């Protein structure tokens, strides 16, 4: 009897740590610094970088693992990512691989009887609500990291502040939308994020996202930025579908009317009303995608 957690310890961790140790050393970190970041001994780092630890071939062939290692190495080496954030992203990645991914396949190879097991409980369930929530929060964190490292993003923050939100696949209310508590603010020319993302802490931007999805949009993420004619023109010039809606109406009917002819619009905006600041809303598949859109228009 072998548990999938044993696969993680015996196969994933040695492969992952050796790849990340190599990547950090390539970025100029000492063995001592790598050991501190990974929470392991310098002798363990030495074994990793000298190839004294076996790496699992199936994991080495997984493109997602390579991308994760490079992203974590860049963030850790530059100081843009904390060890805790790297740990969370890795934990989410592991859960994804456990639930129907390569770790599940390795586990089934080690315990062939699992393939014949027929019961209501699925050992490798890819649709767990908890896993989906973890992935959503991790996506918002990555998107926020993009914004924090985008020179000049503060100039796109409206007076009311920005928020970066992403919803669960089956979202039905703002409690299913992850966002920044208190919004992203321009503090002395720098985008300031007051806290880690949580579910249920955005009302306006989350409501707009849910309204867009109810109107037929497939978007799962939104970022609101400052309105300016030049911003809208740049978005159009980039080939994005830009649609205006009426700020004087309530959000749900206004967005429904705006998306009636083209629910796949990439951008929604309004030019304001009495007491309402004009705003542009960037829609996308996930928080990283909309953050990248914001970076591209600067």
The band of 41, judged by pLDDT with boundaries at 50, 70 and 90, is confident
Q: What is the pLDDT averaged over residues 74-80? A: 92
The band of 26, judged by pLDDT with boundaries at 50, 70 and 90, is very high
Q: What is the pLDDT averaged over residues 271-291? A: 96
pTM, full prediction:
0.64
The band of 155, judged by pLDDT with boundaries at 50, 70 and 90, is very high
Kindly report, residue by residue over 95-145, the tens digit of the pLDDT: 888 776 788 788 878 877 765 555 444 455 555 565 677 778 888 988 998
Residues 282 and 267 sit within 8 Å (Cβ to Cβ): yes
Mean pLDDT over the full length of the chain = 89
Q: Would you state the pLDDT for residue 121?
A: 43
Is residue 257 packed enough to be buried (19+ CB in 10 Å), middle (13-18) or exposed (0-12)?
A: middle
Q: Would you state the pLDDT for residue 129?
A: 65
Residue ranges and CATH numbers for the domains of the chain are 4-114 (no CATH), 129-297 (3.40.225.10)
Place of tokens 């009303």: 273
Q: Would you state the pLDDT for residue 117?
A: 56
Distance CA 26, CA 274 (A): 56
Q: What is the pLDDT averaged over residues 67-95? A: 90
Residues 6+ apart with CB under 8 A from 157: 184, 185, 186, 191, 225, 226
Q: Which alpha helices (DSSP H) does the chain contain, by range?
A: 4-7, 13-26, 31-38, 42-49, 57-60, 63-78, 83-98, 102-110, 129-148, 204-214, 229-237, 251-258, 287-296
Q: By mean pLDDT, which of 49-63, 121-135, 195-209 is the weakest?
A: 121-135
Q: What is the pLDDT averaged over residues 170-188? A: 94
Structure tokens at 74: 């860049």
Residues 225 and 156 sit within 8 Å (Cβ to Cβ): yes
């Amino acid at each position: 009897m072998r548990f999938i957690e044993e696969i993680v310890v015996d196969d994933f961790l040695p492969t992952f740590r050796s790849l990340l140790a190599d990547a950090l050393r390539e970025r100029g970190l000492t063995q001592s610094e790598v050991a501190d970041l990974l929470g392991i001994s310098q002798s363990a780092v030495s074994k990793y970088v000298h190839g004294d630890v076996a790496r699992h071939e199936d994991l080495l062939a997984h493109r997602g693992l390579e991308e994760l290692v490079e992203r974590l190495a860049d963030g850790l080496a530059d100081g843009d990512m904390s060890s805790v954030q790297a740990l969370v992203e890795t934990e989410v990645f592991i859960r994804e691989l456990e639930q129907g991914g390569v770790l599940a396949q390795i586990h089934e190879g080690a315990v062939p009887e699992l393939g014949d097991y027929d019961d209501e409980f699925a050992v490798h369930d890819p649709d767990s609500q908890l896993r989906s929530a973890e992935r959503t929060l991790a996506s918002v964190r990555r998107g926020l990291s993009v914004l924090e490292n985008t020179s000049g993003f503060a100039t796109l923050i409206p007076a009311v502040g920005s928020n970066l939100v992403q919803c669960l696949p089956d979202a039905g209310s703002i409690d299913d939308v992850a966002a920044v508590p208190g919004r992203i603010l321009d503090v002395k020319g720098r985008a300031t994020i007051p806290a880690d993302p949580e579910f249920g802490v955005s009302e306006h931007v989350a409501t707009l996202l849910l309204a867009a999805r109810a109107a037929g949009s497939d978007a799962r993420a939104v970022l609101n930025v400052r309105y300016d004619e030049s911003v809208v023109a740049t978005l159009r010039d980039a080939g994005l579908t830009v649609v205006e809606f009426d700020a004087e109406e309530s959000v749900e009917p206004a967005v429904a009317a705006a998306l009636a002819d083209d629910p796949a619009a990439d951008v929604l905006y309004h030019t304001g009303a009495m007491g309402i600041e004009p705003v542009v809303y960037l829609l996308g598949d996930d928080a990283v995608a909309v953050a990248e859109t914001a970076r591209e228009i600067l």
